[in-house]
Structure 1
Amino acid sequence: MLSFMQVCSRHFVDGMPTKENPHPTLFAYNNFKEPLKCRSLVSINKRLQPTQAETREKLDKFVENVHEKEISESAIERQTLIRKADTPPNIDDSHGQLLMECSSTPPVAAEETILSLCETLDKVVQQCLPDHQYSSNTVNDNQCGPETVDRGMQTDIGMEEMAEFMDLKKRFENTNAIMRDLFIEKVTASDKSVKQYTGVPSKSMLNGLYDILDEASPNIKYWSGQCSAHETSYQENMEKRKSGPSRKLSKYEEFIITLIRLRLAVFTFFLADIFGVSNARVSQIFTTWVNFMYHILTPLLVWPSTPVIKKFLPKSFKLSYPNTVCIIDCTEFFIHKPRSPSAQSRTYSVYKHHNTYKALIGITPSEAIIFVSNLWGGNTSDRYITQHCGFLDNVRPGHEIMADRGFLIRDLLLEKGAKLVIPPFTKKCNWGKGKRLLQSDIIKTRRIANLRIHVERAIERLKNFNILSNTMPLTLKPLSNQILKVCAFLCNLQTPLVKK
């Protein structure tokens, strides 16, 4: 049985039994490989020598065939030359003569001729390329020839194009400027985008508002603390330059930053990244422009005269309450919880179950905001705010003030000769919960509620500015009154909600 056993060649180092390696040594347990130390260099050389010899033989045969082919081709060419020398050439057949000359040229000479032709062509192209560019860009071949080209004019045009190219290159190298320009272009692309980003109803109104502010104060100094408010030499002396680093942003861009922060309540680092400035610079710009807009725009929140109010009185008011001049209501704005316990108690609202600021808002029947009080703590009553915020200074005899049931200010208005219009209170009865409304009281309540709802709509517009609807950080406490009144003025720029 042993004589019929066979072993695969894979188990031998040389692929078969040899004198150097007669026994199989490669098996599965050693992955059919032998350690490098056990491998002999002689066996490796023997395995490599046959392949090298074969390749050498193939190369020698290929070279011999090439030489034989070249010798046969040269002999054929010589015979054709001898035959053509015996026959006279045909003078008329120029193309044939050219072909004969080209075919009779030796290979080496033909290569030299081609190289020389390429060199001459390169020289001609280098000499003629500028003239060709000038003529193709600025000269019409039908009007004038290449000799009448005005080189000076062509050079000037090239320099202008180069200058434009360099300006574009510098602009694209400044990535912050590119991002800033694209964002401003996106914000002011249409009336819809302007309203979404800034709260101003249209692009033309946005530009008009900026022109008013720019004309009011061409030079604005950044806010840098309470002491900087008394330094007026920079505003008064036009020749004196502003101290500190130069502005990276234009006044229009700073104006847009302020409106976007009021409308969207975005973080300062977001605006800093878009406009390519520091986080502190955005806060400084916002503080400066909010105070500046407050001083310019707040005087425009005026209480109009009675004839003007009645001129624009809607029909719904003319039928029921023609003497109404103002609708009032208090609204609250969420704030972060203060650290001081006394501040927590003053700002905590039982109605909202949160720390809030409270303000009194007054609108005309046509829904124009005409009065905005300063902010008070959320724990302050509506009567106290109405009595001490300066609202009663605008009330005249004969006025009717519409409000909710919570405003117990009838006695305060009687002192001014005015009338309070509020829904009627319930009366005592002997059944149910002990209180009831008469049928006439229910009709009156519905009528007043349908008219008083407009102040709620005005407050809703005011809170569309997210800086007021979101929870206000305590860092904005010094700017809270300015922010509220600036947003109230921006609401007046929108179209009235009440139809005539």
Structure 2
Amino acid sequence: MFQQQFGFQRISNSKAEHCCVPFCKASRRRMLKRGAVPELFEWNNYTHPGTEPMVWERKRSHPPLLDHDYASAPDPAVVDLALDENMSLREEILQLRKRIEEQTLNQRFGLHRFAGSDKDIRFFTRFASYDLLMRFWALIEPLLPSMVSVTQAQSGTFTEPSSPATPPLQPIDEMFMFLNYLALGLKWHDLADRYGVRQSTVVRTITTWSDFLYTVLGSVRIWIPEERIKEHLPEEFKDYGDTRVILDFMELRCQPSSPLVQSEAFSACKSHYTLKGLLGVAPHGAVTFISPLYTGSISDKQIMEDCGILSLLRPGMAVMADRGFLVNVFVPCKIYRQPFLSHRSQMSAREVRATQANARLTVHVERLILRVKEHKFFDTEIPPQLFDNINQLYAVACLLTNYENGPLVKA
């Protein structure tokens, strides 16, 4: 009855099988049985298992961790190893960058890809050979520090022209791009795709180089003195030894943007909108005079009076021109020109010989104009957005013929 009331639970073991521990359900506590006596002692081989060490005892038995001890100094050997590893990684990164730059340079469209082929140089630049192109580069390279880019001109920063922002292309490749533009007549988008740059960069590069070459090449006096003309006079001109210049007009097709410009640019001779300029060539084929471009409706007389060629001619000189060059009254010197029939049925023998000789010689200026028009840029119609820069492009293309090829007629 007593066991049932307090819920005694008997615990059996080898040493104290009769020991019972009562369990009170009401208070949830364990209680000793009445009359129980201790029976586990050291003399009967009983040992206490011991208690688990306290928290502060465990801390004293283990060294402190240094995970967050920022004030502690690292081992010098560890620092040296880390520095060596950093240096090796930096060298590896530099080598990888160098390889990437070399691969990009080899893949990018530029002069280096065609240096071994004069045929390709001729096609892409109109220079007869790589050697001639490099000679021209040697002439203008020392003047590159004085180049003012379009960006500098717009912002007005002219104080340090030698230290502009780093360009995406090397200067020689910028020049190559400009020559591609003239020689092949490539569009801006095409050049941007070839060179891997933005279209705005192409426009800025072409404008900058046209202004630069216009200034550099235009500063060289191209009108050749009389004695130098005689030194280089070809054999074909022996009967015309006083000839100093062969004159002809060159017309470029254009696309006027306004009705006013259309009315001024329409050429009755070409039945198209054109820009017209006067070109002068020495007997041996060098360009010696380039006039600005005028609208196609302006007469030859107006261009002759305005362009400045009359101030260079003297009474003792002679000018050779095509039959349609009707400016006798305005030229202060002799003019060699094919004679007209003037309502006659036939020419005299002397006039026939003069006509044949003149035709053979005036073909030189036509060949030179052909050299200029070999720049495919002039094969297409000039768009309105290039009108502000067309004089520079035209003059540079004409001046470049003095560097791109040998003489038309050898002395």
Q: Give the TM bin, normalised by the shorter chain.
A: 0.7 to 0.9
Is the contact made by 2:111 and 2:172 (CA closer than 8 Å) also made in structure 1? no
231 and 166 in structure 1: CA distance in 2 versus 1, 3 angstrom threshold: closer
1:343 aligns with 2:277: no
348 and 266 in structure 1: CA distance in 2 versus 1, 3 angstrom threshold: same
1:359-401 deviation line (CA, Å, top 9, x unaligned): 1011011011100100011112222211211111111230000
Cα shift at 1:211: 2.9
Is the contact made by 1:405 and 1:423 (CA closer than 8 Å) also made in structure 2? yes
Cα shift at 1:187: 2.9
1:439 aligns with 2:349: yes
**CA distance in structure 2 between the aligned counterparts of 1:368 and 1:178, rounded to whole angstroms:** 37
1:232 aligns with 2:232: no
1:94-115 deviation line (CA, Å, top 9, x unaligned): xxxxxxxxxxxxxxxxxxxxxx
1:315-353 deviation line (CA, Å, top 9, x unaligned): 1111x21111110000111112x2322211111111211
422 and 256 in structure 1: CA distance in 2 versus 1, 3 angstrom threshold: same
Is the contact made by 2:181 and 2:377 (CA closer than 8 Å) also made in structure 1? yes
* 2:334 aligned partner, one-letter code: K
Cα shift at 1:194: 1.4
Specify which of 139, 142, 155 is matched with residue 215 of structure 1: 142
**CA distance in structure 2 between the aligned counterparts of 1:447 and 1:395, rounded to whole angstroms:** 23
Residue 262 of structure 1 is matched in structure 2 by 182
**CA distance in structure 2 between the aligned counterparts of 1:220 and 1:421, rounded to whole angstroms:** 43
**CA distance in structure 2 between the aligned counterparts of 1:401 and 1:427, rounded to whole angstroms:** 22
Residue 195 of structure 1 is matched in structure 2 by 122
1:481 aligns with 2:367: no
Taking only aligned residues, the RMSD between alpha carbons, in angstroms, comes to: 2.5
Residue 400 of structure 2 is matched in structure 1 by 490
**CA distance in structure 2 between the aligned counterparts of 1:170 and 1:448, rounded to whole angstroms:** 61
Residue 380 of structure 1 is matched in structure 2 by 298
1:177-210 deviation line (CA, Å, top 9, x unaligned): 4421x54322323222212111122223322322
1:472 aligns with 2:382: yes
TM-score for both structures, normalised by structure 1: 0.60
Identify the range of structure 1 (201-210 vs 262-271) with the bigger mean alpha-carbon deviation. 201-210
Residue 361 of structure 2 is matched in structure 1 by 451
Is the contact made by 1:335 and 1:473 (CA closer than 8 Å) also made in structure 2? yes
Which structure shows the higher helix fraction? 1
Cα shift at 1:311: 0.9
**CA distance in structure 2 between the aligned counterparts of 1:365 and 1:169, rounded to whole angstroms:** 53
Alignment of 1:36-435 (within 5 A): 166-167=96-97, 169-171=99-101, 175=104, 177-180=105-108, 183-218=110-145, 220-224=147-151, 227-228=154-155, 231-235=157-161, 241-242=163-164, 246-318=166-238, 320-336=239-255, 338-414=256-332, 418-429=333-344
Residue ranges of structure 1 left out of the alignment (5+ in a row) = 1-157, 430-434
Is the contact made by 2:148 and 2:158 (CA closer than 8 Å) also made in structure 1? no
Q: Percent identity?
A: 30
Give the 3-state SS of the residue equivalent to 1:259 in structure 2: helix
Cα shift at 1:307: 0.8
Give the 3-state SS of the residue equivalent to 1:358 in structure 2: strand
Is the contact made by 1:187 and 1:197 (CA closer than 8 Å) also made in structure 2? no
Residue 145 of structure 1 is matched in structure 2 by none
359 and 301 in structure 1: CA distance in 2 versus 1, 3 angstrom threshold: farther
Cα shift at 1:356: 0.8
1:212-250 deviation line (CA, Å, top 9, x unaligned): 32211325342048645x542122xx5xx53xx642212
* 2:400 aligned partner, one-letter code: L
Is the contact made by 2:110 and 2:173 (CA closer than 8 Å) also made in structure 1? no
1:499 aligns with 2:410: yes
Is the contact made by 1:301 and 1:489 (CA closer than 8 Å) also made in structure 2? no
Residue 5 of structure 1 is matched in structure 2 by none
Is the contact made by 1:198 and 1:263 (CA closer than 8 Å) also made in structure 2? yes
Give the 3-state SS of the residue equivalent to 1:300 in structure 2: coil
1:111-150 deviation line (CA, Å, top 9, x unaligned): xxxxxxxxxxxxxxxxxxxxxxxxxxxxxxxxxxxxxxxx
Is the contact made by 2:257 and 2:384 (CA closer than 8 Å) also made in structure 1? no
* 1:212 aligned partner, one-letter code: L
**CA distance in structure 2 between the aligned counterparts of 1:408 and 1:368, rounded to whole angstroms:** 24
State the aligned residue count.
323
Is the contact made by 1:309 and 1:325 (CA closer than 8 Å) also made in structure 2? yes
**CA distance in structure 2 between the aligned counterparts of 1:164 and 1:207, rounded to whole angstroms:** 32
**CA distance in structure 2 between the aligned counterparts of 1:449 and 1:392, rounded to whole angstroms:** 24
* 2:136 aligned partner, one-letter code: L
